[in-house]
């Protein structure tokens, strides 16, 4: 009885790699499109709030958007981009900022003390 013959090894063909310029162009196009959509959404939300529609987003949509924005901002900071989440003094009031910051800390079960400690450790 002979042993079964081994199937001849098949040579895997390498997938053609996308040229770096093409990949960068595709990323820039996606980023540009996403950024345009984000600006349009921001304008829609600003108009609705200006018109007194505080329920422009349902709670689940607001939470999903807030989570995505937090992750996106954090990823950009970790990637070395030096930017603040808001441009200087905008139409966002200090009360708006403190309410949001307080809500974010509460949602993550963090205290202001912990934020202060983290800032002193990281320099952020």
Measured CA distances, 89 to 40, 55, 58 (Å): 21, 25, 27
Q: So what's the pLDDT on residue 91?
A: 80
Q: So what's the pLDDT on residue 88?
A: 77
Q: So what's the pLDDT on residue 124?
A: 77
Q: Where do we find the tokens 């999903």?
A: 64
Measured CA distances, 114 to 66, 73, 85, 108 (Å): 21, 20, 20, 11
pLDDT tens string for the chain (124 positions)?
555 555 555 454 455 555 556 555 555 666 789 999 999 999 999 999 999 999 999 999 999 999 999 999 999 999 999 899 998 777 899 999 999 999 999 999 999 999 999 999 988 7
Q: Which residues contact 16 (CB under 8 A, 6 or more apart)?
A: none
Cβ atoms 68, 56 nearer than 8 A? no
> The tokens of 66 are what?
């807030």
> The tokens of 120 are what?
């002193």
> Coil, helix or strand for 83?
coil
Q: So what's the pLDDT on residue 23?
A: 53
This prediction has a pTM of 0.69
Q: Where do we find the tokens 């996106």?
A: 72
């Amino acid at each position: 009885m002979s042993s079964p013959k081994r199937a001849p090894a098949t040579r895997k063909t390498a997938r053609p790699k996308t040229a770096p310029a093409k990949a960068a162009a595709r990323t820039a196009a996606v980023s540009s499109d996403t950024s345009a959509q984000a600006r349009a959404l921001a304008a829609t939300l600003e108009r609705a709030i200006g018109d007194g529609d505080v329920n422009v987003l349902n709670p689940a949509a607001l939470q999903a958007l807030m989570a995505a924005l937090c992750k996106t901002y954090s990823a950009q900071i970790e990637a070395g981009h030096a930017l603040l989440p808001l441009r200087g003094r905008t139409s966002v009031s200090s009360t708006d900022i403190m309410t949001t910051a307080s809500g974010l800390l509460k949602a993550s079960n963090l205290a202001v003390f912990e934020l202060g400690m983290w800032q002193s450790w990281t320099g952020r």
